[in-house]
Chain A
């Protein structure tokens, strides 16, 4: 990010303060976007987490597995995600995944097998890596006054459901949560894919300016629907930040 964007980077730094910086970020927007898209595509597969959970908890029985469905509102819907500006989208994504990590830590208690725990650890590592990339992507976005934009709440993504739940209910809730997580990641992947499409469209028109336009259009379209505060792109703030 250029020097003119330092105030914005400060804001973003505060936004992602809790995120450990895992090395330096790539300043190549398409590369980072592709990476995020691939990660989201990978994490949407239920065999990375949900299948393991269902199997270990014995939920793979007729009459039971049908109830392992995402609770509405547990995670932001695809439409809701698409309506968000890029900045808010990233922030929502980061927050939600942070909650997912907490919830996974709680679910870990119910997984006795070391092999399954190892797999779960791998999933957590993936999520942390994904969060780091979100952080890097946020750094590439030009700063704006959108920091006041509220993060959509995800009530189901709290670290753990009510502690009074018995094991069976907790188990079922965990399953539903993971189902929602995979669906959420699929939606995230689709949003990133749309980012990529707008990037390629922009390139066709103007290699650099097009990105800004595409990003601005995304923001505006979201703004139009949700009446978000107006985004102001500072002159030069797009230096090294192709989207926003």
Chain B
């Protein structure tokens, strides 16, 4: 703790009248005016010790200048921490006071105070005769603290940031280990006695408005005690302090109070205004401004002192000024405009009276379209007036005025602003007109476009446009069309004659000059070749050849959005001597092709196309690859074509195409070059320089090889995307040849098969009828013609049936009818009337089961066992062929004679060759008839007709030859 930091809380200064004789008299004995009745009190809040005492034996009427020496000890009397001589003038019976503020909280230690006195002789201070010391007065606040175990001091102390503060704690128990913290950070202290420690805080900082928390707590216990140290920011000196008057009645003083102290609740600050000439003082209600009433007695000079003050600090600033030099006029008022015409207006305004008729300087600013276009200075006493000229018709203007003291400029008043609009006039310019002509069904469809007049040209609101169409062939033929604004186009349908079109814009006052255009039937646009131009970011630089003859000007026409159906037609008028221009537009986009047409306008106002230009503001690499069709694939080549690829719609001028070919071999043939793609793959690149060439034959290929190709366009800025390659595999060399042979063969076979199928019935009848027609048999005819012309075909009428075949149908068995059991026939033998029939008799015809696989083993005629005597009876049949012929003929005939309703008797072809080796399987006993049996008529061949077989072992299995009394089955 530093003693030097402690100071007196306040001092009393009193005059003292010394008596020289008095000094001499009391030199040899103790001073009779010793301090007595010393009382010490404390103010804990301010950590002050207040001393009060009186002077012994001082007469009531006496006044004595005395000095009191005060000693303060801490903890013990010998530890003197403060000695101060306090001089004052003492009157009789006067109670004297002195205060001292302790840096260490008074609660933290005992304090002892004593004093002595002397007559204050300023001339010889070293020869003072001091009285005796008073007895020590002990101040021990700790005794009154109570019985809590822990205390921290000082409570709620207010300091400025940067101050040094001493904190202490008092513990009731020496055993307690106590730690103290500043905002959570432990502090290192200094022990004053076993129960008290103190902590010196240097240069304390402002932390928050609610103060800094300092607390101590017992290490083993819940007890916590603390204080809040309110650290204030230093009160700043007011800045920019100034005063001014607007009406000579009130002075308005303003200042910048600077930053807050941060402790507005605990440390409120006040601002006081003091004027020294008048001696008046006012406490300002606001932090940054204060009003002062101007003295009615016309005080011109003012000397103000502004004092900012809080509990800890006081700050003052001064200003001295003449009131007339601090006049801030009020804003002009009643700003009016009169006599407003097309180009002029008179502005008037008034100023607030200052009472002394000062001359004011007023400044007028005229705004048009947001910019100052005129500035004027006017001297004004009371009313101001100014004529504004050079204005535009039908234009809104804004004028503002402000004033200041002309003699001693201090500040401008605020602006007062007012708007006015000049009156309308007829449009001054003809509308800018252009046309688009289309020929539709023999008529000219003319679309007229015009640009709206600028505000300066329109001189008012355009209400409508008049269009007069004059037939140049018939001057009397006029057509008038009125189009209301804000339309900017109209369409006319004219015949093929020439017309002169006049377009005027009209407002409420009048009509604009006419814009004239001649439209003829023939636009004549097609004969001009198109040139390419290179655009830049600034636009397209176009130039054209000067036209001989009378030209009134040129027009450049283009579309801002050429890809849209409504292409947003634009045009630009150029003078007759101009042969170049730069066309720029915000609508121009990279990668879009813009087409420009340059027209010359003749003196007859007829436009005719001079040149066509096309170009890009910025070329972009092609974005799409053509859709390629591959054809003519052979083992050595294939053809690529992309006929439908439009070069016009590409984002740059296409200069040609690159054909990339990838192969496993990696060999590039002449005409191509190796190229490395972005994926590091190597391929062959063929270059096509002609953008119109949209076909390419890739040759020199290997048979049965795998290739990949890609066709991409290229322009000046690059080529198209390297997208997916198309894969192709060449065929082998012989495949085409084979295909040429095999395909026709297959075709022929198919044709034959189809024919066979279609003519199967015919074929069947011709080649293998189910029941051969003996009459149609070539064999028979051959026999007939060559061997035995008497041979004839057995007639069914001649056949006497002798056996009935009974076919058993097993119902309910669930078996397929094709199974042998299901179709097993049962034979019923029909015997001839004569028992010993040996002559020729009717033959018996059996059902032919040759075509019934399931029944062939049991029901075939061929299964009929041949009787041992049969060869003799069959001797008529000399050969098997004869027999076959005879049988066929007879059976066919018999079939033909069967009525349709009797179809249950089956007659089957007998020509099937017998199955040899199956005889043993023939049933030995005839089967018994069963219910639901079908009877099949069996035809007996008359023996006379049945030619005897030359061979007994003939395979006439379909014939049953019956002997007398014997039944063979």
Contacts and interface: CB of A to CB of B under 8 A. Distances in A.
Given A56-B210, A112-B210, A112-B264, A167 B156 contact: yes
Nearest to B212: A58
A57 B181 contact: no
A61 B184 CA distance: 5
Contact of B207 (A58, A59, A109, A112): A58
B155 A166 contact: yes
Contacts of A63: 181, 184, 215, 217
Contacts of B184: 61-64
Given A67-B222, A112-B265, A167-B156, A58 B217 contact: no
Nearest to B223: A67
A33 to B, nearest CB: 39
Contacts of A61: 181, 183-184, 213
A113 interface: yes
Interface string A146-179: 0000000000000000000011110110000000
A109 B266 CA distance: 11
A110 interface: yes
Contact of A167 (B155, B222, B224): B155
A53 to B, nearest CB: 10
B213 A58 contact: yes
A60 to B, nearest CB: 9
A59 B213 contact: yes
Given A62-B184, A67-B222, A168 B213 contact: yes
A168 B183 contact: no
B228 interface: yes
A72 to B, nearest CB: 12
Nearest to B211: A167
Contact of B210 (A62, A67, A110): A110
- A111, A113, A168, A171 — most chain B CB neighbours (10 Å): A168
Contact of A166 (B208, B209, B228): B228
Given A58-B211, A64-B181, A171 B217 contact: no
Contacts of B156: 166-167
A64 B207 contact: no
B227 interface: yes
Contacts of A172: 224, 226
A112 B209 contact: yes
A167 B152 CA distance: 12
Contacts of A57: 210, 213
Interface in B201-257: 207-215, 217, 222, 224-228
B967 to A, nearest CB: 101
A67 B228 contact: no
B311 to A, nearest CB: 16
- A58, A109, A169 — most chain B CB neighbours (10 Å): A58
- The size bracket of the interface on B is 20 to 34
Contacts of A113: 209
Interface in B163-221: 181, 183-184, 207-215, 217
Contacts of B265: 109, 112
Interface in B260-315: 264-265
Contacts of A59: 213
Nearest to B208: A58
Given A62-B184, A166-B155, A167-B156, A67 B224 contact: yes
A167 B210 CA distance: 10
Contacts of B212: 58
Nearest to A61: B184
Contacts of A111: 210
A167 B228 contact: yes
Contacts of A58: 183, 207-208, 210-213
Contacts of B181: 61, 63-64
A113 B208 CA distance: 10
B186 to A, nearest CB: 9
Nearest to A110: B210
Contacts of B227: 166-168
Nearest to A58: B213
- A57, A112, A113, A171 — most chain B CB neighbours (10 Å): A112
A64 B222 contact: no
A185 B212 CA distance: 31
B266 to A, nearest CB: 9
Contacts of B222: 67
Contacts of B217: 63, 67
Contacts of B225: 168-169
A109 B225 CA distance: 21
Contacts of B210: 56-58, 110-112, 171
Contacts of A167: 155-156, 211, 227-228
Contacts of B209: 112-113
Contacts of B264: 112
A58 to B, nearest CB: 5
Interface in A201-219: none
A119 B642 CA distance: 75
B259 to A, nearest CB: 15
A107 to B, nearest CB: 11
B228 A64 contact: no
Interface string A53-82: 000111101111001000000000000000
A67 B264 CA distance: 28
Given A58-B183, A64-B213, A168 B226 contact: yes
A124 B696 CA distance: 88
A85 B764 CA distance: 114
Nearest to A167: B228
A173 B136 CA distance: 41
A117 to B, nearest CB: 12
A174 B211 CA distance: 16
Contacts of B214: 168
B52 to A, nearest CB: 26
B45 to A, nearest CB: 10
Contacts of B213: 57-59, 61, 64, 168, 171
Interface string A9-51: 0000000000000000000000000000000000000000000
A69 to B, nearest CB: 9
Contacts of B183: 58, 61
A171 B210 CA distance: 10
B154 to A, nearest CB: 10
Contacts of B155: 166-168
Nearest to B210: A57
A62 B264 CA distance: 28
- A57, A62, A63 — most chain B CB neighbours (10 Å): A63
A59 B224 CA distance: 13
Interface string B560-582: 00000000000000000000000
B54 to A, nearest CB: 34
Contacts of A166: 155-156, 227-228
A59 B208 CA distance: 12
- B213, B214, B265 — most chain A CB neighbours (10 Å): B213
Nearest to A62: B184
A56 B208 CA distance: 8
Contacts of A56: 208, 210
Interface string B136-157: 0000000000000000100110
A56 B211 CA distance: 10
A178 to B, nearest CB: 15
Interface of A: 56-59, 61-64, 67, 109-113, 166-169, 171-172
17 contacts: A56-B210, A57-B213, A58-B208, A58-B213, A61-B181, A61-B213, A63-B181, A64-B181, A64-B224, A67-B222, A112-B209, A166-B155, A166-B156, A166-B228, A167-B211, A168-B155, A171-B210
Given A58-B208, A58-B210, A58-B211, 16 more contacts: A58-B183, A61-B184, A64-B184, A109-B265, A112-B209, A112-B210, A166-B227, A167-B156, A167-B211, A167-B227, A168-B155, A168-B215, A171-B210, A171-B213, A171-B228, A172-B226
Closest 10 CB pairs of A and B: A61-B184, A167-B228, A168-B226, A166-B155, A112-B209, A168-B228, A167-B156, A58-B213, A67-B224, A62-B184
